[in-house]
């Protein structure tokens, strides 16, 4: 009698630090902005494959709060590309029943981009499929500062006792309060750093770093990350369960 193999363990929530657009363009002899344009194709491929695999949430690090140090021409292009993406992908978000959300501070974003973000969120508000979360003008330290300020105001007003502050309360004041914590963080382009991304939320996430540049990241690279994840032993600070001996 054949024994069925167990289904691979998959993450509920995958977070991706998309890196290497500029380097890809330079290697092709192109302007940096062409790397960002090509990177959108990778986004489409990864979203579709995650939907097919039944992943609960995919979070993509699109623009960090530190990225505003880049040249204005590149930032203007990124904002235009983001607006174009939100408009062009809206029918796909509907077709695939995707939930949609954005994390990060809104203050520095152009008004026309905010309009498209809010329009897409409204279109998807009744959806029940995979959640696509875009981190735009996001920085984890700023997010934690905002959460602490919120808590401090509640303490100062008497609505909250300092003794009531715990990890769960802090988590409930973060941008990600309605989301599961990431199980797997993928970083492309071989960089070995977290770049101020979801620092609170990824305390026990598995990390997977690939030298593949984001514009070249497709389904095979995603499956390589998932295969690696399925072989990890997630102990969450504990020990492996001892093997049973006869």
Mean pLDDT (10-residue bins), the chain, 246 residues: 66 98 96 96 98 98 93 94 97 98 96 98 98 98 98 98 97 97 98 97 97 98 98 72 40
Domain extent listing, the chain: 13-229
**Is 22 marked within a binding site?**
yes
Find the helix packing angle between 219-231 and 32-53, rounded to 10°: 60
**Is 206 marked within a binding site?**
yes
Cβ(213)–Cβ(189) under 8 Å? yes
Let me know if 118 is a catalytic residue.
no
Confidence at residue 240, expressed as pLDDT on a 0 to 100 scale: 62
CA distances from 28 to 19, 32, 33, 35 (A): 16, 10, 12, 9
Confidence at residue 85, expressed as pLDDT on a 0 to 100 scale: 97
Let me know if 19 is a catalytic residue.
yes
Q: Which residues contact 49 (CB under 8 A, 6 or more apart)?
A: 219, 222
CATH, range 13-229: 3.40.1180.10
DSSP structure string for 58-97: EEEEEEEGGGGGS-HHHHHHHHHHHHHHHHHTHHHHHHTT
Catalytic residue among 19, 137, 175, 183: 19
Confidence at residue 8, expressed as pLDDT on a 0 to 100 scale: 79
Q: Burial level of 40, CB count in 10 A (0-12/13-18/19+)?
A: middle
The pTM (predicted TM-score) of the whole model is: 0.91
**Is 20 marked within a binding site?**
yes
**Is 42 marked within a binding site?**
no
Closest CA to 175 of 128, 139, 227, 226: 139
């Amino acid at each position: 009698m054949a024994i069925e193999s167990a289904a691979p363990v998959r993450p509920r929530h995958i977070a991706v630090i998309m890196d290497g657009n500029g380097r890809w363009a330079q290697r092709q002899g192109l302007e940096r902005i062409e790397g960002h344009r090509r990177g959108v194709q990778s986004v489409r491929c990864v979203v579709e494959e995650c939907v097919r695999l039944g992943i609960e949430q995919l979070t993509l690090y699109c623009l960090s709060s530190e990225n505003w140090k880049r040249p204005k021409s590149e930032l203007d292009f990124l904002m235009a590309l983001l607006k174009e993406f939100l408009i062009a992908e809206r029918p796909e978000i509907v077709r695939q029943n995707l939930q949609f959300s954005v994390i990060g501070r809104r203050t520095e974003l152009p008004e026309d981009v905010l309009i498209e973000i809010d329009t897409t969120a409204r279109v998807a508000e009744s959806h029940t499929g995979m959640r696509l979360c875009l981190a735009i003008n996001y920085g984890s330290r700023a997010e934690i500062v905002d959460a602490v300020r919120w808590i401090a105001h509640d303490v100062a007003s008497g609505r909250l006792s300092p003794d009531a502050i715990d990890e769960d309360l802090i988590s409930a004041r973060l941008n990600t309060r309605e989301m599961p914590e990431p199980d797997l963080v993928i970083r492309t382009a071989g960089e070995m750093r977290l770049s101020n991304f979801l620092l609170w939320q990824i305390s026990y996430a598995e990390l997977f770093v690939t030298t593949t540049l984001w514009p070249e990241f497709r389904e095979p690279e995603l499956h390589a990350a998932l295969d690696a994840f399925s072989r990890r032993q997630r102990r969450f600070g504990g020990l492996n369960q001892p093997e049973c001996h006869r």
